Amino acid sequence: MTDSKILIVDDELDICKQLVGVLEDKGFDASYVASSEETLEILKKENISLILLDIWLNNSKLDGFQTLEKVVQIDNSIPIIMISGHGNIETAVNSIKKGAYDFIEKPFDSELLIFKVKKALENFKLKKKIQQIGKKNYVSKIVANSVSMKKILESIKKISKTESSILLFGDVGMGKTFVAKQIHDKSNRHYKNFRVVDCKTSNIEKFEIELFGNEVNQVTEFPGIFDEINGGTILFKNFDLISKKIQGKLLRILEEKKYFRIGGYKPRPINFRIIASSKTNLSKIKSEKKIRLDLLKKLDFFYISLPSISERVKDFSDLVEIFLIELNENGYRKKSFSGNVLDFLSNLNNIKNFSQLKKLVEWIVIMLEEEKDEIDLVMIKELVKVFFDEKNNQFIDNNEHMDCTLKEARENFEKDYLEYNLSKYNFNISKMSSKIGMERTALYRKLKLMKINNTGLKE
């Protein structure tokens, strides 16, 4: 049995028993009640993970819709799957607008029921996990010490609670995806899914199936992103690159509030919010006609332009602190940067975006893993030179390291770095030790430990 409690609310006893039987066969803990009054009473006493709620709920003080609204007010983290009569699509759409997670039609398809239940419980566990960690302020907070970001933050606060579509414009690596997630988390859809879809693809057919899902026949079906996102938010990255074919289908969805799986004939109700991001500004998107004008008109974007890195110098120290905390949580020793290091980094012209700044911070921490916990300027100057040395930068940017374990990635970085500096300082161990900020005996041990050829070392 699972530790998730499922409550069925239906005034038809046969339906309740049927659902309990199907769910218990799959190991779920399920019980049932017949009225809104019993439902609300149980919520006071028990921790319920999922509710299957009949839309009509006859012979009850509140009908299904009213019960739904009441439950959402009490605890909007509990997913609710509405039970509707066959073909009652409009009613199902309305229930999702009112806060339901999903719906299922009578008569039930057992496999589809279990699929929806599992997805709903996954969603519930994720939301509870987020609540338990308190959305750690140092990670989820948008850093806004600079004037430009304070203005952006005000815009985000205002627009989050609306249903407006949003276009985020900014250079690569400036946090468009992070901002989109913050908008979702602050919106009335925060208890639903948030998905990121990259429109930059050469395989349009595969992209279409990922979005819409696929039905090979009446028995075999493959849910898509639209199945998962109902009631939530989709971020379309590189929106200006979305194919004309998908643009047409997206426009139809926005107009009709329903979609069809690839190969399917059954309309599926859907309600979601669109956030788009692009490194091309809106006026250029319009002038180059990259997006259909009717689609742009339908979306009616609220436009947010993220400031460049040069406008956010005051945000550097807080962002670096966030990166250091995240690295510590991922298994690295807790490190801190001295004030002169932060000043040095904030004045580097080489840093083009915050993704690059994050990678630089990771690089410094990895290289100085065994050194003292407070990192000072002497320790990092040579590391920064190596990081921005284009001739040797390929081992830093090498994505193969990302497929290794943390231990392997660290060893790969260290070995490349030490071999590079051995060559750079002509195997002069004293000079190399001084420049990279590592004590000589520790450096000897490290070279031996990593089996780096140290033939010809000079004092």
| Whether the domain at 5-132 and the domain at 137-307 fall into the same CATH topology | yes
* Other beta carbons less than 10 A from residue 86's beta carbon: 8
Predicted confidence at residue 252, as pLDDT, reads 94
- Cα–Cα distance between 204 and 211 in angstroms, integer? 11
Domain boundaries, the chain: 5-132, 137-307, 311-449
Which residues share a beta bridge with 237? Answer: 198
pLDDT tens-place string over residues 105-158: 888 889 999 999 998 898 787 666 555 544 444 345 678 788 888 888 888 888
Q: Which homologous superfamily does the CATH classification assign to the domain defined by 5-132?
A: Response regulator (3.40.50.2300)
Pair 29, 2: CB distance under 8 Å: yes
Eight-state DSSP code of residue 142 = P
pLDDT tens-place string over residues 280-326: 888 888 888 889 999 999 998 899 999 888 888 888 888 888 888 88
- The mean pLDDT of the chain is 83
Structure tokens at 430: 């004293």
Predicted confidence at residue 443, as pLDDT, reads 81
For residue 439, which amino acid is it? E
Predicted confidence at residue 459, as pLDDT, reads 66
pLDDT tier at 397, thresholds 50, 70, 90: very low
Residues 6+ apart with CB under 8 A from 315: 143, 144, 145, 146, 149
Least confident of 9-18, 98-107, 401-410: 401-410
- Cα–Cα distance between 368 and 384 in angstroms, integer? 12
Task: Return the closest-CA partner of residue 351 out of 295, 305, 303, 310.
Answer: 310
By DSSP bridging, strand 268-269 and strand 258-259 are antiparallel
pLDDT tens-place string over residues 317-365: 888 888 888 887 777 788 888 888 888 888 888 888 888 888 888 888 8
pLDDT tens-place string over residues 57-78: 888 889 898 999 899 888 888 9
Architecture label for domain 137-307: 3-Layer(aba) Sandwich (3.40)
- Cα–Cα distance between 243 and 199 in angstroms, integer? 8
Full-model pTM: 0.57
